[in-house]
């Protein structure tokens, strides 16, 4: 029965020369996990078995209580089992998605701590690193989390700094940013197990352009996003991103960049159709929006974390950009959540 589950029929074939031992993966599915990131991690394992007609890998799904879990897109998944200790040598991934700070309950966090004490290899997919941080097992190891959620992660766990990379492997800790980065991470693990040739063929089967290395960034470069390679403009945006919490006055920014105010304004107008000040405010307000949605930080702290000198200052600019005050936005989310819980 299990053999039929793990090895599917397929036209393509690849012969492995060496004898192999089956490796097991366990995926802990948390509420509102990102389905794309989860499936992108499982499919390379399935294809590896299909290509070789060998049970190279087995994969199982778990939820805290063994019940059905609903993904962020509304699709429901029935797991194989409730949380349990996987066999020795297995790798377990925490799969999370939206609202990651509230996804892992005490049962899941205690399970993570216990598995870590027992020497298990653990990982996080998409926002799974939130649960790993809440369980206090990351330590000084390198890790990553989806780029969208990094600002809220850093504010919530200031002792940890995620990398911008697609995925990270560091001493029994394996994490990725989600999306197709899950595929890149699994291809790396498969290549380590069985060689480069099979990883290349699996990548082709997924019609996936594999990243050259795990240190490839999750996001497109700034130059791609704004359609310009002007180094002065790119440097200006980089400095703005790095100083969101303590924004520089325009003249100080110009001095840092060694450019005149008129030149800077001309560059921003040409490529972003905004003034430097408007662009800077936009970056800060987007950061505030993310922190309001994904953390429980007081609005006063969010104002400070995005360079506004008061909540009223933040509220004025926030309402102008998003059409709602920070307080109303957060209240709206809480009301929606309460209605969904009641139903």
Distance between the two ends of the chain, CA-based, in angstroms?
38
The pLDDT value given to residue 222: 65
Domain boundaries of the chain, sorted by first residue: 16-205, 222-333
As a whole number of angstroms, the distance between CA 186 and CA 204 comes to: 14
pLDDT number for residue 342: 33
Q: Classify domain 16-205 by CATH number.
A: 3.40.50.880
Just give the CATH number of 222-333.
Answer: 1.10.10.60
Give the pLDDT score at 322.
92
Neighbours of 116 (CB within 10 A): 19
> What integer pLDDT is reported at residue 335 of this predicted model?
47
Contacting residues for 188 by C-beta, under 8 A, at least 6 apart: 167, 169, 199, 214
Own/partner contacts of 143-150, CB < 8 Å, gap of 24 or more, are: 143/168, 143/170, 143/173, 143/175, 144/168, 144/175, 144/176, 144/177, 144/218, 145/175, 145/177, 146/177, 146/178, 146/179, 146/218, 147/177, 147/218, 147/219, 148/290, 149/100, 149/290, 149/294
* pLDDT by 10-residue block (mean), the chain, 343 residues: 75 76 96 97 96 95 98 97 97 97 97 98 98 98 95 94 94 95 96 93 91 69 66 89 93 94 93 93 93 91 95 95 92 54 34
Residue 165 backbone dihedrals phi, psi, to 5 degrees:
-75, 160
Residue 233 CA: distances (Å) to CA of 160, 167, 236, 263, 270: 30, 29, 5, 10, 10
Q: What is the pTM of this model?
A: 0.82
Looking at every residue in the chain, the average pLDDT score rounds to 90
Q: What is the pLDDT of residue 218?
A: 77
* pLDDT confidence of residue 338: 41
């Amino acid at each position: 029965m299990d053999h039929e589950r793990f090895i599917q029929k397929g036209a393509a074939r690849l012969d492995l020369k060496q004898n192999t031992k089956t490796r097991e993966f366990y995926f802990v599915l948390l509420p509102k996990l990102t389905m794309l990131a989860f499936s992108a991690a499982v499919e390379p394992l399935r294809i590896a078995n299909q290509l070789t007609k060998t049970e190279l890998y087995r994969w199982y799904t778990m939820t805290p209580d063994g019940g059905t879990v609903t993904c962020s897109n509304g699709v429901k998944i029935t797991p194989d089992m409730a949380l349990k200790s996987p066999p020795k040598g297995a790798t377990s991934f925490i799969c999370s998605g939206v609202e990651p700070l509230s996804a892992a309950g005490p049962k899941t966090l205690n399970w993570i701590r216990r598995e870590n004490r027992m020497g298990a290899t653990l990982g996080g997919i998409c926002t799974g690193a939130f649960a790993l941080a809440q369980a206090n097992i990351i330590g000084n190891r390198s890790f990553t989390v989806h780029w969208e959620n990094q600002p809220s992660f850093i504010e919530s766990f200031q002792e940890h700094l995620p990398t911008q990379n697609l995925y990270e492997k560091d001493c029994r800790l394996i994490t990725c940013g989600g999306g197709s980065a899950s595929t890149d991470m699994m291809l790396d693990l498969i290549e380590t197990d069985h060689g480069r040739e099979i990883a290349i063929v699996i990548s082709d089967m997924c019609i996936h352009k594999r990243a050259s290395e795990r240190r490839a960034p999750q996001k497109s470069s700034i130059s791609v996003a704004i359609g310009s390679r002007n180094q002065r403009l790119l440097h200006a945006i980089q400095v703005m991103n790095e100083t969101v919490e303590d924004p520089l006055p325009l003249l100080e920014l110009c001095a840092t960049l060694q450019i005149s105010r008129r030149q800077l304004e001309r560059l921003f107008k040409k490529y972003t159709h905004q003034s430097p000040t408007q662009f800077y405010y936009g970056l800060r307000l987007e950061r505030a929006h993310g922190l309001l949605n994904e953390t429980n930080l007081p609005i006063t702290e969010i104002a400070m974390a995005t360079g506004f000198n008061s909540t009223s200052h933040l509220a004025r600019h926030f309402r102008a950009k998003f059409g709602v005050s920070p307080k109303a936005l957060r209240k709206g989310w809480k009301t929606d959540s309460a209605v969904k819980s009641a139903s």
